[in-house]
């Protein structure tokens, strides 16, 4: 059973969702551990726990695309298409995410972007996000960048 399917099963449990949201707060993350255990996510699985916390914060699910596409949708809703050569605020956030030096910094940046997705009602493909974060590498970054900038040219 996928991580998203397991999360969807507890989506209506307000207490469980509240406890999962605590995963991103260092002093409260232990509140999420019983819920993670019940849905089959190890408390040692940092990425799984993080994605569960994101889902609890913003349970609007996309069925396709990656996080680059999510960021592009946020940019479109926030700023629209820019005609000049300046970077948009979302584009700068996205570039900072791709340049994150370690997992902790990457997760913090993703958390902020998911907050933007929530405020603009942009869905997130949590299953793909989980897979991408588990196998983070240059190829993942390039795939996100291709979705964000829609570069299909060779």
pLDDT value, residue 152? 53
Q: CB within 8 A of 69, min separation 6: which ones? A: 62, 125, 147, 148
**Could you say which residues of the chain have pLDDT below 70?**
80-84, 151-154
pLDDT value, residue 82? 59
Q: Which domain holds residue 101?
A: 67-148
pLDDT value, residue 153? 46
C-beta of residue 148 within 8 angstroms of C-beta of residue 94: yes
pLDDT value, residue 87? 87
Residue 30 and residue 100 in one domain: no
pLDDT value, residue 1? 84
* Domain endpoint, select from 13, 33, 57: 57
Residue 44 and residue 76 in one domain: no
Residue 74 and residue 144 in one domain: yes
What's the total number of domains in the chain? 2
pLDDT value, residue 83? 62
Per DSSP, the residues of 27-65 read TTGGGGHHHHHHTT--TT-HHHHHHHHHHHH---B-SS-
**Which sign, positive or negative, has the C-alpha torsion 22, 23, 24, 28?**
positive
Residue 49 and residue 122 in one domain: no
Residue 134 and residue 83 in one domain: yes
Structure tokens at 97: 């995410």
pLDDT value, residue 124? 98
Look at residue 143 and tell me if it is in a domain: yes
């Amino acid at each position: 059973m996928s991580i998203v399917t397991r999360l969807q099963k507890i989506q209506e449990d307000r207490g469980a969702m509240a406890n999962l949201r605590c995963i991103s707060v260092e002093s409260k993350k232990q509140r999420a551990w019983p819920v993670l255990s019940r849905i089959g996510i190890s408390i040692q699985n940092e990425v799984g726990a993080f994605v569960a916390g994101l889902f609890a914060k913003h349970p609007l699910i996309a069925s396709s695309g990656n996080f680059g596409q999510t960021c592009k949708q946020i940019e479109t809703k926030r700023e629209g298409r820019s005609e000049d050569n300046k970077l948009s605020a979302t584009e700068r956030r996205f570039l900072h995410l791709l340049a994150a030096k370690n997992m902790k910094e990457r997760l913090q940046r993703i958390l902020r972007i998911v907050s933007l997705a929530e405020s603009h009602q942009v869905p997130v493909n949590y299953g793909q996000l989980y897979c991408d974060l588990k196998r983070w590498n240059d190829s993942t970054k390039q795939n996100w960048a291709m979705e964000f900038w829609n570069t299909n040219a060779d």
